[in-house]
Chains A and B, each alone.
Chain A
């Protein structure tokens, strides 16, 4: 019975992982994570465990602190409380750059691509830390330069092909249609070879068929690349359709965790989304 339950259980009790994650360290563990902005607790006591190949969802009403959680996980903000482990590794004091190098990659709610560069170059920038070379080999075109350019080109096209974007390789990133820009952001994040991919509203502004493709892509990332995915999304069809564990936030606090069906029937979640007039009903 236990095997089918979600891993997203409140800290400190351990996650009960499905078979495929048995014996693996959870990819992400947040322990009492929190941040204050001048006395205001934007995120408070955030505890979460994400399994090695889980698709997790982070939902909640606007202003609940979801993006702030992502910013804490990627160290855009340094947490004022608690700690977080990536694949069992302590991350205190790391910078955004360093936390990416140990395997946390993300996309942004408002797309942040390198607009003046081509699609392929955007992916190559994601590959940066997996390529050899330095200022001198680049400046004087030493053999390392040619080797690493060749590798970058091949790997970038491979990744783009994975998302059916190889034909767009030479377009400027800024000139792509909206949906393709969102996809490119995912490819760029994947190029850094992460162990967990954080997607901030990946389906925002997409039509139903694009959302459908996105869901398939997210599954593909998990199944074929074996990368855990955590996503913030308001599109409940997407969240309920692909997430195995869901965490619900409101006012900076976690109010519920569980499988999609548990979340759908959780009174606290319904209250957070529909407002307090449900209180009276519940009390009866």
Chain B
């Protein structure tokens, strides 16, 4: 039963990673860049939701919607100001810029909201379910998180497969130049991707803060890096890959915490990534890219 409890905890944490990883993977697929600042958008989402709930006294749902709106706008602004001018630049330059943006968000949050941790209250009011005479406990948060993750996953798959904008996204991801020649507005499509990714980051932020209710300006960096690892693990650029990588990572993390070592769980998680990349350099579900000679 302990194992099952850990497994459920792992899947729940993994679902949060998966939602964040979706943002990384969509942006990488389309803009071929690692958006390092994505983790910090999560942090902004958490803070905005907190402020809306406790300073404005709004109920949970509108607060989440406000957080999503703010993050969506933030995503578009970041893309437009920092990344768009570097569309032609080397990936090194873009990555360093993304790191700069990440630092900017963290330190701006530090100045605006201070370094004192704020205590978040869970937005989820579903009571925990006990099964097998209380041996197996499923928290309300776990239930909601996993459900939200599955809904988002299905929604995104349908979106990219059947809508005009989704098809445009896939076209731009495949070949920017050709997509442009077919009349697709590449800049708009990239902005849209950032908007969706950032909106999802807000949801992930709220869910993350519900599970780990301490708000600090750097709260996004650890789940950010881990989700990023999850996206790479699953094969960056692939939506099912992000889901698989996220859940796998969450499960590995919780299980190794429970059964191997509390302190070394991070090292194990990163170790798994390295091993996967060595065996399959583009991740579990990533496509092999052949360099044209």
The yes or no answer to A148 lying at the interface (CB within 8 A) is no
The yes or no answer to B293 lying at the interface (CB within 8 A) is yes
* Bound Cα distance from A37 to B293, whole angstroms: 15
The yes or no answer to A117 lying at the interface (CB within 8 A) is no
Residues of B within 8 A of A37 (CB): 290
* Bound Cα distance from A37 to B292, whole angstroms: 13
- Using CB atoms, name the residue of chain A closest to B291: A76
Residues of B within 8 A of A76 (CB): 293
- Using CB atoms, name the residue of chain A closest to B288: A38
The yes or no answer to A217 lying at the interface (CB within 8 A) is no
The yes or no answer to A108 lying at the interface (CB within 8 A) is yes
B281 nearest CB across to chain A (Å): 16
Residues of A within 8 A of B290 (CB): 37
B93 nearest CB across to chain A (Å): 15
* Bound Cα distance from A101 to B293, whole angstroms: 20
* Bound Cα distance from A37 to B289, whole angstroms: 12
Within A1-54, the residues touching B (CB, 8 Å) are 37
A198 nearest CB across to chain B (Å): 12
Interface flags for A107-128 (1: CB within 8 Å of B; 0: not) read: 0100000000000000000000
Residues of B within 8 A of A67 (CB): 293
- Using CB atoms, name the residue of chain B closest to A74: B293
Residues of A within 8 A of B293 (CB): 67, 71, 76, 108
* Bound Cα distance from A67 to B293, whole angstroms: 8
B40 nearest CB across to chain A (Å): 34
Within A48-81, the residues touching B (CB, 8 Å) are 67, 71, 76
B185 nearest CB across to chain A (Å): 29
- Using CB atoms, name the residue of chain B closest to A68: B293
B129 nearest CB across to chain A (Å): 47
* Bound Cα distance from A67 to B290, whole angstroms: 15
Residues of B within 8 A of A108 (CB): 293
- Using CB atoms, name the residue of chain A closest to B290: A37
Within B241-293, the residues touching A (CB, 8 Å) are 290, 293
* Bound Cα distance from A182 to B290, whole angstroms: 25
Interface flags for B7-26 (1: CB within 8 Å of A; 0: not) read: 00000000000000000000
* Bound Cα distance from A67 to B292, whole angstroms: 10
A55 nearest CB across to chain B (Å): 23
* Bound Cα distance from A76 to B290, whole angstroms: 10
Interface flags for A231-267 (1: CB within 8 Å of B; 0: not) read: 0000000000000000000000000000000000000
Residues of B within 8 A of A71 (CB): 293
A269 nearest CB across to chain B (Å): 26
* Bound Cα distance from A76 to B291, whole angstroms: 10
Interface flags for A138-165 (1: CB within 8 Å of B; 0: not) read: 0000000000000000000000000000
A254 nearest CB across to chain B (Å): 21
A43 nearest CB across to chain B (Å): 14
B92 nearest CB across to chain A (Å): 14
* Bound Cα distance from A71 to B291, whole angstroms: 12
Interface flags for B197-213 (1: CB within 8 Å of A; 0: not) read: 00000000000000000
* Bound Cα distance from A10 to B290, whole angstroms: 31
B203 nearest CB across to chain A (Å): 37
* Bound Cα distance from A71 to B292, whole angstroms: 10
* Bound Cα distance from A214 to B293, whole angstroms: 23
* Bound Cα distance from A77 to B182, whole angstroms: 32
* Bound Cα distance from A71 to B290, whole angstroms: 12
* Bound Cα distance from A81 to B81, whole angstroms: 51
A99 nearest CB across to chain B (Å): 14
- Using CB atoms, name the residue of chain B closest to A76: B293
* Bound Cα distance from A231 to B271, whole angstroms: 47
B289 nearest CB across to chain A (Å): 13
5 A-B residue pairs with Cβ-Cβ distance under 8 Å, sorted by A, are A37-B290, A67-B293, A71-B293, A76-B293, A108-B293
* Shortest beta-carbon contacts, A-B, top 4: A76-B293, A71-B293, A108-B293, A67-B293
